[in-house]
Chains A and B, each alone.
Chain A
Amino acid sequence: MMTNLAYDYQDKKKRKGHGHRHGHGNWSNNLKNLDQCDIGEKVRVHSLGMKGHKAKRLMDMGLLPGTIIEISRTAPFGDPVAIKLRGFQMSFRRKEAGEIIVELL
């Protein structure tokens, strides 16, 4: 059963009246943000979209451009998210997932 992670999130954003975040919805057909993926979907990382110590930590754990990942699950209410990569599972917040750009396989 697929749950679209992005569905609730985008709706809530519209209701709260936040401005259109930079990058959302401006992509060519096969790119999207990680938080827009479904559970069970397999994608390839295009870019991390963040800098500094956050990017470093993710990269140290093996999340790099070109890495194939699978969205495995989310915590109750959708945050944080967990992904599978390189034979193990890790998790981080929705916020960071929203900055990571992935490419459909």
Chain B
Amino acid sequence: MARYVLAGNPNAGKTSLFNLLTGTRQHVGNWPGVTVEKKVGYLKNNQSIQIVDLPGVYSISPVSIEEKVASEFLVNEKVDGLINIVDASNLERNLYFTVQLLELGKPMIMALNMIDVASTYGVKLDVAKIEEKLGMAVVPMTARKGEGLEEFIEKVNKPLNTSNFNLNYPNAIEKAIKEIEAIIKPIPELVEYNHRWLAIQILEENTVVEELIKINDIWNLIVKIKEDLHTGNKSSIPEQIREERYKWINGFVQEVMNEDSYQKKTWTDRIDAIVTHKWLGIPLFLFFMFLTFQITFTWIGVPLQNILDGWFSGPVSEGAIKLLTWIGASDWLIRLVVDGIIAGVGGVLVFVPQIFTLFLAISFLEDSGYMARAAFIMDKWMSKIGINGKAFIPMIVGFGCNVPGIMSARTIEQPKERLITILLNPFMSCSARLTVYALFVSVFFEQHRGLIVLSLYLLGIIMAALLGLIFKRFLFNEDESLFVIELPPYRVPMLRNLLLNTWDKGKSFLKKAGTIIFSAAVVFWFLGNYSWTGMVESMDESFLAHLGGIIAPIFEPLGFGTWQSSVALIGGFMAKEIVVSTLSIVYGAGGESVVHLSTAIQGSFNAVSAYAFMVFVLLYTPCMSTVVVMKQETGSWKWPLFSIAYSFSIAWVLAFIVYQVGSLFF
């Protein structure tokens, strides 16, 4: 089996190409840093070629974690071939990484992607000449549309060429390279590596390569060579190496590309002039956010929700009862399926339209290129509370689900900034919490759905800002914060990619429904219908009621001190959707349908306590999956535990204030 590695700059269309080559579905976004993880697949119709998708990086020599991942993989793992994807409309900068890859001396092929974009800029490339000068097959493509794929697959199925590419650096550096090569040569562990490449990377101060070599005693000799080289030069060795590469690239680009190319990006400029305008920029941004919410809740989400709701409580439940009765199932089984599973899982599934709509909107904003501008606009304000503008995407993703939100914080280079972004992410009200809002809002706030839900999202954001300020004071070192992002050209997202993207994000929601929520529904139904004496008539006597009853007093001052609410909130720790699913079960006692939940809720809450309950759910603790990911990304349990502690306290205090103060007025 041969292992090929897919490597290239962020934003070059790597993910599209990976999908096309392996046939799997991955996340596609028009913003650097969206794809962070390594993905592995097999070439379609050829299982003997494994393809590893590396994070998009600008250089092998790492600054960020993604670059470290890529660098470590290239240095430490067995790599049989390189697939270099290059953005043809952005050739110069993309070639920098290409040169580093060429110096690795491995079999390689280039996918010259985004040829369509390059054409609209009037760029014409001499592909044959590129192939000749680089010493490898070069296939022009437009991966998003699948153009050029056939030719590429044909060429990638054949053995790849190893180029004899050689870039000559200034004499002094070449001399140092030879000296280092001589020292490395006798080391048995390093015999498999391209020594010239190792020497160059050492001079470039590639920390991954340094670690590889440092184990040996030769390191001191190498340090001496570096020092000797450096004396008398005003620019550092890495700088000189870079300069030489770009010099070569400049010359190369002039030979293979026609002149007069970069003038055409006027549409992007025009849009940017408005979108980053001094006075229009931020209001426009807020407007887009508001529009997103309106579409999701008022226009699309809710009407579909009502249809689904009627369907679950009507035909589905009745059909299930008929079917089970017909096969002679016992009464308790029928009750389990209808009151437990259908009520519990169905109670959550009705929100699928809203959640998918939200994900679709986020995908659109990402894919079109607007997200980068949003980060660009917001960085100044976000820095004031200790968050990097680059934290913008993790926060926005967090509105869908905190788990990928926290994981995408990996794009933030500075560890403390990353930590703060992770700790604040749970305040981004996720789609699971949305199920709770949607339920209560439909019962108590029919007239002002969008507004009330927006207020909750804003409350989360404000809490995040306040906490950010506090964390910044205690945790932060301003000097190290780095904000550097690319502003890609705008483009109209392709519908197919948008839908794939949305499905990708949304399917985990459905998966959760089928597993955690399903199991929780079964468990809660059982606990709610049984007690020490066996099956009970009324839920008030069940295990669940007893358990809830012990905890309920904590919530008394908040307006929802019932065992039902307590139990729902406990369930909410496992997954926030379980709050709704549990309420469906505990209030749906006696074979009632989902729709009767509204009536039951009206009896146990009023508008004020409903709002207090929603505030509590917004803030109280991250769900189990989020806690686990927090531990994973921060490396210790102390941070998630800290998060649980302060979240619960803040939630309690705020809900208390809302209920007590609110009750005075309403």
Contacts and interface: CB of A to CB of B under 8 A. Distances in A.
Contacts of B376: 75, 80, 82, 91
A31 B268 CA distance: 30
B279 interface: yes
Nearest to B277: A76
Contact of B486 (A61, A64, A67): A61
Interface residues of B, number: 44
Contacts of A67: 246
B408 interface: no
Contacts of B261: 87
B92 A77 contact: no
B456 to A, nearest CB: 27
A61 B63 CA distance: 12
Contacts of A87: 89-93, 261-262
A76 B282 CA distance: 8
B377 A76 contact: yes
A60 interface: yes
Interface string B245-278: 0100000000000000110000011001100111
Interface in B474-524: 482-489
Interface stretch (B36-44, B236-244, B308-316): B236-244
A81 B584 CA distance: 52
Contacts of B364: none
Given A53-B63, A53-B482, A64-B242, A75 B377 contact: yes
Nearest to B257: A87
Nearest to B247: A66
Contact of B90 (A54, A57, A88, A96): A88
Given A86-B93, A88-B90, A93 B486 contact: no
Contact of B276 (A56, A64, A65, A75): A75
Contacts of B272: 72-73
Contact of B61 (A60, A75, A79, A84): A60
B486 A75 contact: no
B659 interface: no
B58 interface: yes
Contacts of B277: 76
Nearest to A73: B276
B380 interface: yes
Contact of B482 (A57, A59, A62, A86): A57
Contacts of B58: 57, 60-61
B372 to A, nearest CB: 8
A80 B96 CA distance: 25
B222 to A, nearest CB: 20
A6 interface: no
Interface in B72-130: 89-93, 96
A88 B273 CA distance: 16
B92 A62 contact: yes
Given A76-B277, A86-B93, A59 B486 contact: no
Contacts of B242: 59, 64
Nearest to A77: B380
A58 B383 CA distance: 19
Contacts of B135: none
Contact of A60 (B59, B383, B482, B488): B59
Interface in A36-88: 53-54, 56-62, 64-67, 72-77, 79-80, 82, 84, 86-88
B482 A54 contact: yes
A97 to B, nearest CB: 11
A76 B281 contact: yes
A104 interface: no
Nearest to A67: B246
A20 B426 CA distance: 42
A91 B96 contact: no
Contacts of A53: 63, 413, 482
A54 B61 CA distance: 13
B330 interface: no
B483 A80 contact: yes
A89 interface: yes
B389 interface: yes
Contact of B93 (A57, A72, A74, A88): A88
A76 B239 contact: no
B248 to A, nearest CB: 13
A89 to B, nearest CB: 4
22 contacts: A57-B58, A57-B64, A58-B484, A59-B239, A60-B58, A61-B58, A67-B246, A73-B272, A73-B276, A75-B379, A76-B281, A76-B282, A80-B483, A82-B276, A82-B376, A82-B487, A86-B92, A86-B93, A87-B89, A87-B93, A91-B486, A92-B483
Given A62-B92, A92-B483, A92-B485, 7 more contacts: A53-B63, A53-B413, A59-B239, A65-B239, A75-B379, A86-B92, A90-B487
7 A-B pairs closest in CB distance:
A86-B92, A60-B59, A60-B58, A89-B487, A76-B281, A62-B93, A76-B278
Interface of A: 53-54, 56-62, 64-67, 72-77, 79-80, 82, 84, 86-93, 96
